[in-house]
Amino acid sequence: MTPTLPPFDHQPAPYTGPSKADVRGMRSAHLASAILTYYRDPVMIVEGKMQYLYDETGRRYLDGFAGIVTVSVGHCHPKVIERVHEQNSLLQHTTTIYLHPNIARFAEMIADAMPAGSGLDTCYFTNSGSEANDLACMMAKLHTGANDIIALRNAYHGMSPTAMGLTALHTWKFPVLQGVGVHHALNPDRFRGPYGYDDPDAGAKYAADVRDLIRSSTPGKVAAFIAESIQGVGGAVELPPGYLKDVYAAVHDAGGVCIADEVQTGFGRTGEHFWGFENHGVTPDIVTMAKGIGNGAPIGCVITRKEIAEPLAQRLHFNTFGGNPVSMAQGIATLEVMREMDVQKRSKEIGGFLKAGLESLKNKHDLVGDVRGMGLMLGVELVKDRSTKEPASAETSDVMEHCKDMGLLIGKGGLYGNVLRIKPPMCLTKDDCTFMCGVLDEALARAAKG
Ligand SMILES: Cc1ncc(COP(=O)(O)O)c(C=O)c1O
C-alpha cells in the first residue's frame, strides 16, 4: 500500500501562472541546457510551506532535499518572511560603502555561534558557497604566502573556477584551466576506500596520505587544506574519527591554514554539534558557509581570525551584493529561528530516528549497500552487489522516480550517482520520517524488480 503523507494544515494558493508545458518550452528556448532538472517528467514547484512543497496542481510533496540542503528552518517560515517583508519595505540595497545595522549584527551573531575560544570572529559575506570558498583560498594564500592547497578526492566545493579546481568529481569538472596549485588527497571513504569501517586506525592511515602528498607534491609549505566533515555532493561520506586532527596537524606543520567547508554541514544539521568540524574535535582557521545560513537567501560567509583576514585590506576588495540588507535580515531571522527551534537537537533526535529507519531498510533490501551520515545529513548508497559494491546508478534514478511518484522528493550524489541524499528542512517530524521510510521501502522494492 502506498504510504500517505502526514496531515498538514495548509491550503496552497490556486496557481494561475503559465502551464508546466509552457515553462518547459521557455526554459528550453532561453535557459542554458546545462541548467538541469531532476526526474524524467520534471516537477514544477510553485509553493512551499515548512517541510512541504506544492506543485502547480496543488499536490503536496515531502521535501527531503531542502532546496539542496538550504532551506534549514522550513519553506516560507513565517518569522523569516515577516522580517524580510519589513526590510524590503525600508531599504533593499546600498552596498557596504554605507553603514547598516544588519550586516554588522549578522556578523556578530555568526561570530557568537563559533566555538568559544576559537578566535573565529571576523566575517566577510558573499552571495554563494563558491564565492566563500574562493575568498577563503585567497585569504589563506595571502596570509601564508604559499600557493598550494590540499583538497580531497570526491569533494565538491562549488563551480567558480577556483572552487571547481578544489572539486574532485569528474562529473563536475570542465576541460578548462583550473586547480592551479591544488592537490587532491586520498578520500577517507571507509565504504569504498582501502581502509574500512572495521579498521580502527583508518583515520590515521588516510591522514598519512596528506603528509605524503605535502612531501611529494608541494614545496613543503602549503597555503591550506579544505574539506567538508561529511561530503555532501560526494554522497554523505563521513570522515573517519581522528582523521581531521592528524591532517590539521600536518597542514599546520607545513605552514598552512585549515578551512572547514560548512556549506552543508553547518547550522546544527549534523545533530551532535552546531558545526560539522566540532564532531572531530578540531578548530579550523577559516570556516566557509552558505546554503542553510539564510534559509534560501543568497548568502555566503567566510569567518576567520583577524590576522588571516587582514592581508585582504592591503588592496581594494569589494562585493556588490555581499551583506545586502535584505539577505542579512533573512540570515538574522533564520539564525534566531534556528535557536528557537533548537535545530541541532531536532536534527539529532529526528535524524537518529530516520537513520534507524533507513538502517532497517538495509536489512530488507539488497540494493542498500551503506547507510551513513549524521543528524539530518544522511545518505543511502545503492549497489548491485554488496560484495563487489558495483554502483547501482540506474536503480538510484529509478528509486528517486518512484519516491517522487509517491510524494517524496530527495536528492542523489556520489561519483557514480548512486547515493540517495536525504537532507530535509530541520523542521521535519517523526511522522514525516515514517512516511519517508515507507516510501523508500516501496521504491526500493519496485526498483529491484526493474
Ligand atoms: C560543500 C559545498 N561547498 C560549496 C558549495 C557551493 O555553493 P554554491 O552553490 O552556493 O556556490 C556547495 C554547493 O553545493 C557545497 O555543497
| 288 CA distance to ligand 1 middle (Å) | 10
Q: Is 180 exposed, middle or buried (0-12, 13-18, 19+ CB in 10 A)?
A: exposed
Q: Does ligand 1 come within 6 angstroms of the Cβ of 264?
A: yes
| 218 CA distance to ligand 1 middle (Å) | 26
Q: Does ligand 1 come within 6 angstroms of the Cβ of 157?
A: yes
Q: Does ligand 1 come within 6 angstroms of the Cβ of 129?
A: yes
Position in ligand 1 atom list of the atom nearest CA 228: 1
Separation between Cα atoms, residue 277 and residue 130, nearest integer Å: 19
> Can you give the pTM of this predicted structure?
0.98
Quick one: pLDDT at residue 2? 86
CATH class belonging to 20-69+345-449:
alpha beta
Q: Nine-digit cell at 379?
A: 545518505
Q: Does ligand 1 come within 6 angstroms of the Cβ of 262?
A: no
Domain edges within the chain: 20-69+345-449, 79-341
| 157 CA distance to ligand 1 middle (Å) | 5
| 51 CA distance to ligand 1 middle (Å) | 21
| 111 CA distance to ligand 1 middle (Å) | 21
DSSP structure class, residue 427: T
Separation between Cα atoms, residue 46 and residue 54, nearest integer Å: 6
What sign for the dihedral angle of Cα 156, 109, 70, 36? negative
Separation between Cα atoms, residue 110 and residue 308, nearest integer Å: 17
What sign for the dihedral angle of Cα 423, 406, 429, 84? positive
Quick one: pLDDT at residue 33? 96
Q: Nine-digit cell at 218?
A: 608541494
Residues in the chain: 450
CATH topology of domain 79-341: Aspartate Aminotransferase; domain 2 (3.40.640)
Block mean pLDDT (10 aa), the chain, length 450: 94 98 98 96 98 98 98 98 98 98 98 98 98 98 98 98 98 96 98 98 98 98 98 98 98 98 98 98 98 98 98 96 98 98 98 98 98 98 98 98 98 98 98 98 95
